[in-house]
């Protein structure tokens, strides 16, 4: 008998033993499962599923469940998923181990359908396994879950999304956020804030153009955690945007990053029609604090059409002048202190000339001996 015939015979024999049920011992049925597992023939899956449905012996059921994990066949996923909620607690660990091995993108539709269940535990298990299927459809589904009415579901979906690449999640957020309602937008932006990826900066800058104050506020918060040094180039380009919110936030984030903003850009922003943009530009110039920026600030302090923008520039100029005055005063005080110290030293320095030996009965030591002309004090 050739090898193929022998395997076919063993396969048929093992299936028969499984089908006999109570007419064969539990040990024989377990051995039959073991034989099918050893043969590695995926044709055994339908027979194992059939046997599990009819089997009442816990030992045999557990052995069949283990075999599903060995075959890693996604066709067993739905059965294993249901068993999680129907079997005893002692068997759940085995079921979950096999389920982990069997889950695949082939099961995506089933998991999505399971999210419609009214049972929160089924929904939670579906979300966990969606995290194991690395496709954009999984990400889109999980993103919709963060708008669920149940806080537990939202939090679990957000946590599960962290298992995907940041860039992939941000890409999917970009695709759906435009058509989302305001509450969903805010939750999506909160997720982006948690991700903290510079990849999201272009999206967040775009969202800043919305008229919705809460959505715009969420975008600002997300931008503050997402902008990194590599975002500076994009933010500098955003200074040319027509939207004043974009320009204001771009300046703020560039300052927070410690990035150098071109003076030419700031000079243009000082001419912006919006006073908030001009005031942010003034703050950026204050951060620079060199002669050229000071010159621009002096122009703003005299010419800006808005009083509070002028005062902002004037206050900084006054602060610089006070600082310069303080520096000059400190210098004069040091010189006076040094002169006083030198004079004090001269008072105590010498009482006779070391060259001619004459007595110098004077309150302050002279620089030169009045008798021999030799220099007595070398420095003041």
**Lowest-confidence pick of 46-55, 59-68, 175-184, 316-325:** 316-325
Do residue 365 and residue 288 come from a single domain?
no
Into how many domains does the chain fold? 3
Rounded CA separation 216/185 (Å) = 10
| 312 shares its domain with 341 | yes
Domain-located, residue 216: no
- Does 141 map to a domain? no
- Per the CB < 8 A criterion, the answer to whether 137 and 108 are in contact is yes
On whether residue 370 sits in a domain, the answer given is yes
Averaged pLDDT for residues 67-82 = 96
List, for residues 328-355, the tens digit of each pLDDT value. Answer: 555 555 655 565 555 455 555 566 787 7
pLDDT, greater one: 200 or 376: 200
Range of the domain at 359: 352-380
Q: Among the three residues 73, 102, 131, which one is the final residue of a domain in this structure?
A: 102
Out of 60, 79, 102, pick the residue that ends a domain: 102
Instruction: Answer yes or no: is pLDDT of 104 > 90.
Output: yes
- At 256 the pLDDT is 93
345 and 334 housed in the same domain: yes
Residue 87 pLDDT grade (very low, low, confident, very high; cuts 50, 70, 90): low
Highest mean pLDDT among 322-326, 350-354, 362-366: 350-354
- Does 188 map to a domain? no
> Would you list the DSSP string of 141-183?
HHHHHTT-SSHHHHHHHHHHHTTS-HHHHHHHHHHHHTTS-HH
Beta-bridge partner residues of 352: 359
Question: 81 and 20 in one domain?
Answer: yes
Q: Whole-angstrom Cα distance, residue 52 to residue 68?
A: 11
Q: End of a domain among 53, 84, 102?
A: 102
CA dihedral defined by 117, 122, 123, 125, rounded to 10 degrees?
A: -160
pLDDT tens track for 147-159: 999 999 999 999 9
CA–CA separation, 30 vs 35, rounded Å?
9
Out of 121-135, 204-218, 270-284, 343-357, least confident range:
343-357
Same domain? 93 vs 10: yes
pLDDT on residue 230: 93
Q: What is the pLDDT of residues 14-64, one digit of tens each?
A: 999 888 765 678 999 999 999 999 999 999 999 999 999 988 899 999 999
3-state secondary structure of 239: coil
Q: Report if residue 256 sits inside a domain.
A: no
Which pLDDT band holds residue 364 (cuts at 50, 70, 90)? low
Whole-angstrom Cα distance, residue 184 to residue 222? 15
Most confident of 177-186, 281-290, 342-351: 177-186
Q: How far apart are CA 230 and CA 137, in angstroms?
A: 30
CATH code of 302's domain? 1.25.10.10
CB 96 within 8 A of CB 118: no
Query: Pick from 77, 120, 73, 114: which is nearest to 96 by CA?
Result: 77
pTM of the model: 0.77
342 with 269, same domain?
yes
What pLDDT is stored for residue 282 in this prediction? 93
Return the percentage of the chain with pLDDT > 70, whole number. 87
Count the helices and strands in the chain (H runs, E runs).
Answer: 20, 0
Query: What token pair was written down for 145?
Result: 């879950």
Average pLDDT over residues 79-98: 86
Mean pLDDT (the chain, rounded): 88
Q: What is the pLDDT of residue 341?
A: 56
> Would you place residue 288 in the very low, low, confident or very high pLDDT band (cuts 50, 70, 90)?
confident
For the ranges 8-17, 94-103, 164-173, 246-255, the lowest mean pLDDT is seen at 8-17
What is the per-residue pLDDT for 150? 94
Question: What confidence score (pLDDT) does residue 380 get?
Answer: 43
Q: Which residues contact 179 (CB under 8 A, 6 or more apart)?
A: none
């Amino acid at each position: 008998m050739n090898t193929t015939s022998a395997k076919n015979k063993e396969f048929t024999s093992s299936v028969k033993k499984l089908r006999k049920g109570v007419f064969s011992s539990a040990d024989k049925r377990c051995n039959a499962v073991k034989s099918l597992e050893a043969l590695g023939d995926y044709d055994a899956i339908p027979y194992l599923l059939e046997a599990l449905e009819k089997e009442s012996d816990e030992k045999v059921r557990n052995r069949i469940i283990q075999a599903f994990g060995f075959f890693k066949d996604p066709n067993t996923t739905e059965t294993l998923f249901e068993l999680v909620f129907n079997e005893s607690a002692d068997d759940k660990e085995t079921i979950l181990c096999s389920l982990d091995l069997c889950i695949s993108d082939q099961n995506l539709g089933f998991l999505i359908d399971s999210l419609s269940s009214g049972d929160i535990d089924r929904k939670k298990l579906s979300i966990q396994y969606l995290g194991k299927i690395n496709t954009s459809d999984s990400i889109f589904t999980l993103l919709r879950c963060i708008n669920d009415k149940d806080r537990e579901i939202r939090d679990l979906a957000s946590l599960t999304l962290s298992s995907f690449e940041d860039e992939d999640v941000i890409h999917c957020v970009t695709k759906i956020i435009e058509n989302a309602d305001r509450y969903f937008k805010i939750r999506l932006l909160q997720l982006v804030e948690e991700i903290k990826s510079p990849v999201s900066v272009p999206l967040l800058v775009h969202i800043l153009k919305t008229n919705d104050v809460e959505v715009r506020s969420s975008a600002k918060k997300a931008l503050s955690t997402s902008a990194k040094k590599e975002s500076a180039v994009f933010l500098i380009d955003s200074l040319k945007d027509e939207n004043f919110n974009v320009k204001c936030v771009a300046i703020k984030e560039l300052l927070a990053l410690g990035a150098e903003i071109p003076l030419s850009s700031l000079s243009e922003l000082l001419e912006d029609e919006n006073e908030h943009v001009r005031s942010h530009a003034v703050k950026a110039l204050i951060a620079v604090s060199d002669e050229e920026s000071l010159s621009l600030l002096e122009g703003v302090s005299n010419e800006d059409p808005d009083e509070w923008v002028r005062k902002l520039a004037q206050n900084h100029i006054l602060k610089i002048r006070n600082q310069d005055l303080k520096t000059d005063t400190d210098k004069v005080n040091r010189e006076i202190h040094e002169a006083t110290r030198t004079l004090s030293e001269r008072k105590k320095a010498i009482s006779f000339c070391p060259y001619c030996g004459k007595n110098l009965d004077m309150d302050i030591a002279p620089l030169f001996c009045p008798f021999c002309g030799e220099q007595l004090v070398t420095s003041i």
